[in-house]
Amino acid sequence: MKIAIAGSGALGCGFGYMMKKGGHDVTLMDYWEDHIQAVQKNGLTVDVNGETGNVQLPMDKPENIEDTFDTVFIFTKSMGLRAMLEAIEHTLSNDTKIVCLLNGLGHAQTLAEYVLEENVIMGTTVWTAGIDEPGITHLMGQGPVEIQEADPSGKEATLEIVEMMQDVGLNGVYSDNVHFTTWRKACVNGTMNALCALLDANIQELFESSQSQSLITKIITEFSRAAEVENVELDIDEMVTYVTEISESVGAHYPSMHQDITNHRPTEIDFLNGKVAEMSEEYGFDAENCALITELIHAKEDVLGIK
Ligand code: NAD
């Protein structure tokens, strides 16, 4: 399969590496100059669950790529999605499938502005990844990557991509309700990410605090009201249990929003709690906790001079 990764940070490099190792034709697209130069010079080095390897593959800014691709995986941060879709337009044919695995809400609507619905594949993943230095990243976990086509006509292509991800060890799974999976993942990120960032705590510390169950229940209650607008039913108790079980499996890990704040990078808050707060105004339900959390994270970004 001829594949491009649009946004080749931590997760993009991890996925690109696995697909290249699995024998596919992979091109990385990104804007981080030092990272591009490192990969062009030394190849991409990725540690996957403690085993390190190196692959040689092309990497450049989208405007310097002339090819078109069968499949493009988008791995920008949420706030970079729109600009990336504009930048890669010339690399898409009428049949190119776009796979979007970003955390956060509202991405399907953004994709619909740029890509035919029959070419859109949405999903979530619980692989975790990080950047050690330009050209060197790590990928941890076992997945899965759950995906589903936005339009029924895209099912065959989606199944092919699932099979490709299984073959290369990314643990691809076909989802028959990716909309629910996306909201469930948003509940995980909307609770752990924002609270750990605000409290300067890791996930274990957050869940050991006597306030954690109350805070998490309040946030999930608001997410469930927003999900209902999109006809997704989230059982609050079930979601609290799900998030708590995930916290037990990840332990003393700092979620990505904490890492963003620590590294003075903008957060994805507007696409998580901020999206729920925005929907509450539009559809008239209460989400005062999500609104306050969003304001607090933005205040923290301002205090740290994060643009
Ligand atoms: P990332 O921050 O590693 O990369 C996103 C973009 O930022 C890339 O274009 C990258 O090159 C650029 N970037 C990263 N560090 C930079 C630096 N120091 N200077 C300049 N540019 C830099 O993002 P990610 O972790 O790969 O996440 C991509 C999407 O996947 C997000 O929506 C995220 O929430 C989601 N996600 C991430 C993980 C994870 O464990 N990393 C897991 C599940 C979902």
pLDDT tens, 90-147?
A: 999 999 999 999 999 999 999 999 999 999 999 999 999 999 999 999 999 999 999 9
Six-digit token string for 198: 């605000």
Model pLDDT, residue 10: 96
* CA 185-76-121 angle, 5° bins: 60
Q: Going by CA atoms, what residue is nearest to atom 9 of ligand 1?
A: 7
Distances (CA, A) of 180 to 102, 144, 175, 225, 235: 15, 15, 10, 13, 11
Distance from residue 299's CA to the centre of ligand 1 (Å): 22
Global pTM reads 0.96
Pairing state of beta strands 136-140 and 128-133? Answer: antiparallel
Six-digit token string for 244: 């708590």
Contact 169, 17 (CB under 8 A): no
d(CA 243, CA 225): 17
Provide residues with CB under 6 Å of ligand 1: 7-12, 30, 32, 35, 75-78, 102-103, 125, 128-129, 131, 256, 268
Q: Going by CA atoms, what residue is nearest to atom 1 of ligand 1?
A: 9
Query: pLDDT band at residue 82, thresholds of 50, 70 and 90?
Result: very high
13-52 pLDDT, tens digit each:
999 999 999 999 999 999 999 999 999 999 999 999 999 9
Contact 190, 219 (CB under 8 A): yes
Ligand 1 atom having least distance to the Cα of 76: 5
Contact 271, 104 (CB under 8 A): yes
Q: Going by CA atoms, what residue is nearest to atom 8 of ligand 1?
A: 9
The catalytic site residues sit at 185
* 3-class DSSP state of 276: helix
Distance from residue 3's CA to the centre of ligand 1 (Å): 19
The distance in angstroms from the start CA to the end CA of the chain is: 37
Instruction: Identify the DSSP state of 253.
Output: P
Ligand 1 atom having least distance to the Cα of 271: 32
Model pLDDT, residue 251: 87
Distance from residue 10's CA to the centre of ligand 1 (Å): 5
Beta strands, E only, 110-177: 120-125, 128-133, 136-140, 145-149, 172-174
Model pLDDT, residue 155: 97
Model pLDDT, residue 15: 98
Six-digit token string for 47: 């540690």
Q: Going by CA atoms, what residue is nearest to atom 11 of ligand 1?
A: 9
Whether the pLDDT of residue 250 is over 90: the answer is no
Torsion of CA 55, 57, 62, 65, to 10 degrees: 180
50: burial class by Cβ within 10 Å (0-12, 13-18, 19+)? exposed
Mean pLDDT of 45-72: 97
